[in-house]
Structure 1
Amino acid sequence: MGKKTIIIGGGIVGLSCAYYLSELGYEVTVIDKSEMDGGASYVNAGYLTPSHIIPLASPGMMAKGIKWMFKSASPFYMQPRLDMDFLKWAWYFSRSSTSSHVEKAIPLIKDINLLSMDLYGDMHASGNLGNFQLEKKGLLMLYKTTKEGNHEKEVALRAKDEGLEVRELTKDQLNTLQPNLSDEIDGAVHYLCDAHTSPNEIMQNLKRYLSENGVDFKLREEAIDFTFQNKKISKVITNKGSYEADDVIIAAGSWSQNLAKKLRLKINLQAGKGYRINVKRPTDVILPAILMEAKVAVTPMKEFTRFAGTMELSGINHKIKTNRVRAIAHAAGSYYNGLEISETEISAAKCGLRPVSPDGLPYIGKTSKFDNLTIATGHAMMGWSLGPATGKLISEIISDSKLSMDISGFHPERKF
């Protein structure tokens, strides 16, 4: 067997790291505090989104956050709280929300998304994870107002400049592609470059494949500390024992910041809560779509339709705010004729926490303090889309192989 590698975190990023490292012959152990059957990797919209070239930290977002701060059902909600980590994050987020930052981020986001989409395709073609859902029908951006329409058309032009396939749709073209839409919808932009999946299916198949191929899973076990000396981590300590490691990967999502503190590292993150509703009956939804004014994602998955959304910065907790779930349900009914989400479906809603960096870009790479530590977190709303690319890049970093792309913009110690 190869070197002992400990991965802390069993979401799509952690499992993707395990997938590519195990292929290289590394002895991989994944430690996760949960049963690995819920969270952001299971409740997301399942999108693979080269089209999402604009980072969360962009001009006007901080103003929206402040405006919506006291509207707990708003799409982007920052819960007011006197927490130093949150206040630092908010300050860095504000500083990052500039046009120059967006321009630097666009090619990085595009390149890593395209890499990840290719890798999902490779996984699908290999048959290792079964014949999972991977459909390239594109993504509709549905808008009701001229303001949102003009904004998305500007993004579409920028996406075309980056070589992405996108087109504007007339109402007639839209209604042909996706019948039964509300008359209030003014138009749409169709990003043909995008694809979609069913996350639960892939996660279950990935766990099975990795287990069958020698990856050791430590479930319901929480990493709480480390043994280290000079620039090397020797052991990962959990609430149940300790594990020797040649390499350590922190891919613990929203919990990564607290783990980094144990190593005297500063990884600035906030947990961004998202919600999902599954509707397990016919909905007439044919194409994945984002309901722009409501910031709700709609995905036709295997055997059900998923409605997902919101970015709630309220700390690490899994409290479900029913008014936020109802806002998603209301949006669905206002964009699709005759669609009414029931109280039973609303009450079955789940949430997940996405790790959000201040500039909206992931942390991928080594730190200067430890030779055998690699960070893989901070993907915000693109975690599902970027999982395989991150795993592949981490495997290349650890094995000292040629990188699939330039990752200097994702450095864990970058300044904000």
Structure 2
Amino acid sequence: MKNVVVIGGGIVGLSTAYYLHKEGCAVTVIDKGDITTGASFVNAGYITPSHIIPLASPGMIAKGIKMMFNSASPFYMKPRLDLDFIKWSWYFHRSSTAIKVEKAISVIKEINLLSRELFTDIKKSGDLGDFQLERKGLLMLYKTDETYLHEKKIAERVQDEGLDVAELNKIELQQLEPNVRIEAEGAIHYQCDAHTTPNEIMPKLLSYLNKNGVHIKTHEEVIDLKTTGNTINEVITNKNNYKPDEVVLAAGSWSGELAKLLHLKLPLQGGKGYSINVARETGITIPAILMESKMAVTPMNGFTRFAGTMEFSGNNNVIRKERVLAIANGASSFYPDVKINATEIKNVKTGLRPVSPDGLPYIGRSTTIKNLLIGTGHAMMGWSLGPATGKLISELLTDNKTSMNVFSFDPNRNFQ
């Protein structure tokens, strides 16, 4: 029986623990928080095979520079003299080419489909009890012809990949969502997508692991990783010391800093997102992305979530009021009868999504530390890809055949 320490208690860390437990490993999960907050709890809950275009795509850096001095913009990069951020920005720029995006499309689709299947399998297993997992698709709502034509090109590429897509005009859109007034000219409907309630699944997953012998260590921060040669022989926290056979680094946006303890280069930046929950009837029944507002809307169990923005301003939980108000205003511009009130705005939550320079996750073994596996860097697809990442890491760790080729996710890849 392998003794494994998983660093990080987000959806990736807990999914990894879930599948390693199924493989008979003795697992300990270490998290510096209490596993009730962060990106795994405040995301849009999407499972998105349709999202085949990585964040690092042509024109994104130009958009970031253009929006750099507007802290209310949907894509905000705070100017700062930070060597890691400068290097990451350069790697991001180098990755944002049409050729690299084209290479990424098929693997992003494949891992998303794998994860959608695994979410379904977990629900069918009954391990977590019942939870929301609905296949209503995702509406890309648009107001202008320019936005429509841009998304239509992506939709055609999604169809080329064999995924289900439909176009809806204004009347058809309103017929699909009859209980809420929508100010949009139409929608692209990615019928291949699904959605969940993260706040429901995370506690159930945590409870399952606790009941089945996985050791969950909260409020413990990893402060050192001791090595002998090319092997980690001790994980040291502010409370305990652990001597594992294998270590999985799944600490989200903090993974890059922990990698430095091992003298590893793992370019990552935390992309901050915000979410507002509205726990009253909105009439919204189908998840949607409000394209001009660049935000997401999800009907979850007990509330509707309005989420959005990608903010690169360092690993902090500072809430920028202007960005929160942009989400509230964006919601009412598409759903004029849905007004997010001051109390709901005040209760906004934030989380940091780990973003790699090329928009692809890091999933795989380190080539320099033989008992280290890495699972992070999922950007906006962390929730969608959590189970797939956990499954793939468990397969790599136990020397089983992987469910898909993981070469594109190699954490040792070079961005020079």
Shorter-chain TM-score range: over 0.9
**For residues 305 and 226 of structure 1, what CA distance do their matches in structure 2 show?**
41
Hey, what does 1:105 align to over in structure 2?
A: 104
1:144 aligned partner, one-letter code? K
**For residues 392 and 183 of structure 2, what CA distance do their matches in structure 1 show?**
44
Q: How does 1:382-401 map to 2 (within 5 A)?
A: 382-401=381-400
Alpha carbons of structure 1 residues 316 and 183: separation in structure 2 relative to 1, 3 Å: closer
Hey, what does 1:349 align to over in structure 2?
A: 348
2:226 aligned partner, one-letter code? T
Q: Is contact 2:276–2:348 with CA below 8 Å preserved after alignment?
A: yes
After superposition, the C-alpha distances for 1:144-167 in whole angstroms (9 at most, x for unaligned) are 111111111001000000000001
Q: Is contact 1:17–1:392 with CA below 8 Å preserved after alignment?
A: yes
Q: How does 1:215-234 map to 2 (within 5 A)?
A: 215-234=214-233
After superposition, the C-alpha distances for 1:17-66 in whole angstroms (9 at most, x for unaligned) are 00000001100000000011000000000000000000000011111000
Hey, what does 1:336 align to over in structure 2?
A: 335
Residue 171 of structure 2 is aligned to residue 172 of structure 1: yes
The two structures, once aligned, show a CA RMSD in angstroms of: 0.8
Q: Is contact 2:182–2:335 with CA below 8 Å preserved after alignment?
A: no
Identity of aligned residues (%): 63
Give 3-state SS (helix, strand or coil) of 1:52's partner.
coil
Q: Is contact 2:180–2:283 with CA below 8 Å preserved after alignment?
A: no
TM-superposed CA distance for 1:230, in Å, is 1.2
Hey, what does 1:269 align to over in structure 2?
A: 268
Hey, what does 1:124 align to over in structure 2?
A: 123
Structure 1 spans left out of the alignment, 5+ residues: none
After superposition, the C-alpha distances for 1:220-270 in whole angstroms (9 at most, x for unaligned) are 000111111111111101111210110000000000000000000000000
Hey, what does 1:289 align to over in structure 2?
A: 288
**For residues 363 and 304 of structure 1, what CA distance do their matches in structure 2 show?**
33
Residue 30 of structure 2 is aligned to residue 31 of structure 1: yes
1:9 aligned partner, one-letter code? G
**For residues 196 and 123 of structure 1, what CA distance do their matches in structure 2 show?**
14
Residue 298 of structure 2 is aligned to residue 313 of structure 1: no
Alpha carbons of structure 1 residues 184 and 202: separation in structure 2 relative to 1, 3 Å: closer
**For residues 184 and 171 of structure 1, what CA distance do their matches in structure 2 show?**
9
Q: Is contact 1:4–1:26 with CA below 8 Å preserved after alignment?
A: yes
Q: Is contact 2:174–2:182 with CA below 8 Å preserved after alignment?
A: no
**For residues 281 and 270 of structure 1, what CA distance do their matches in structure 2 show?**
35
1:214 aligned partner, one-letter code? G
**For residues 240 and 146 of structure 1, what CA distance do their matches in structure 2 show?**
57
2:274 aligned partner, one-letter code? Y
After superposition, the C-alpha distances for 1:113-133 in whole angstroms (9 at most, x for unaligned) are 000000000000011011100
Q: Is contact 1:180–1:336 with CA below 8 Å preserved after alignment?
A: no
**For residues 29 and 289 of structure 1, what CA distance do their matches in structure 2 show?**
37
Q: Is contact 1:74–1:324 with CA below 8 Å preserved after alignment?
A: yes
**For residues 157 and 116 of structure 1, what CA distance do their matches in structure 2 show?**
23
Residue 74 of structure 2 is aligned to residue 75 of structure 1: yes
Q: How does 1:142-221 map to 2 (within 5 A)?
A: 142-179=141-178, 184-221=183-220
**For residues 181 and 103 of structure 2, what CA distance do their matches in structure 1 show?**
37
TM-superposed CA distance for 1:187, in Å, is 1.2
**For residues 184 and 390 of structure 2, what CA distance do their matches in structure 1 show?**
39
Give 3-state SS (helix, strand or coil) of 1:249's partner.
strand
Q: How does 1:222-261 map to 2 (within 5 A)?
A: 222-261=221-260
After superposition, the C-alpha distances for 1:305-358 in whole angstroms (9 at most, x for unaligned) are 000000000000001111101000000000013111000000000000000000
**For residues 275 and 87 of structure 2, what CA distance do their matches in structure 1 show?**
29
**For residues 237 and 294 of structure 1, what CA distance do their matches in structure 2 show?**
44
Q: Is contact 1:181–1:335 with CA below 8 Å preserved after alignment?
A: no
**For residues 75 and 147 of structure 1, what CA distance do their matches in structure 2 show?**
18
TM-superposed CA distance for 1:302, in Å, is 0.4
**For residues 286 and 404 of structure 1, what CA distance do their matches in structure 2 show?**
33
Give the number of aligned pairs.
415
Of 203-212 and 222-231, deviating more is 222-231
TM-superposed CA distance for 1:368, in Å, is 1.1
**For residues 211 and 184 of structure 1, what CA distance do their matches in structure 2 show?**
46
TM-superposed CA distance for 1:179, in Å, is 3.1
**For residues 130 and 289 of structure 1, what CA distance do their matches in structure 2 show?**
27
After superposition, the C-alpha distances for 1:66-98 in whole angstroms (9 at most, x for unaligned) are 000000000000000000000001001111111
Normalising by structure 1, what TM-score? 0.99
2:304 aligned partner, one-letter code? T
TM-superposed CA distance for 1:181, in Å, is 5.9
Hey, what does 1:374 align to over in structure 2?
A: 373
**For residues 136 and 292 of structure 1, what CA distance do their matches in structure 2 show?**
21
**For residues 25 and 181 of structure 1, what CA distance do their matches in structure 2 show?**
49
After superposition, the C-alpha distances for 1:253-301 in whole angstroms (9 at most, x for unaligned) are 0000000000000000000000000000011111100000111100000
**For residues 342 and 181 of structure 1, what CA distance do their matches in structure 2 show?**
17
Give 3-state SS (helix, strand or coil) of 2:408's partner.
helix
After superposition, the C-alpha distances for 1:349-379 in whole angstroms (9 at most, x for unaligned) are 0000000000000000011111110000000
Q: Is contact 1:51–1:159 with CA below 8 Å preserved after alignment?
A: yes
**For residues 314 and 217 of structure 1, what CA distance do their matches in structure 2 show?**
30
Of 143-152 and 243-252, deviating more is 143-152
**For residues 409 and 273 of structure 2, what CA distance do their matches in structure 1 show?**
23
1:305 aligned partner, one-letter code? T
TM-superposed CA distance for 1:184, in Å, is 4.4
Residue 364 of structure 2 is aligned to residue 365 of structure 1: yes
Normalising by structure 2, what TM-score? 0.99
**For residues 379 and 182 of structure 2, what CA distance do their matches in structure 1 show?**
33
2:402 aligned partner, one-letter code? L
**For residues 21 and 59 of structure 2, what CA distance do their matches in structure 1 show?**
43
Structure 2 spans left out of the alignment, 5+ residues: none
Q: Is contact 1:180–1:337 with CA below 8 Å preserved after alignment?
A: no
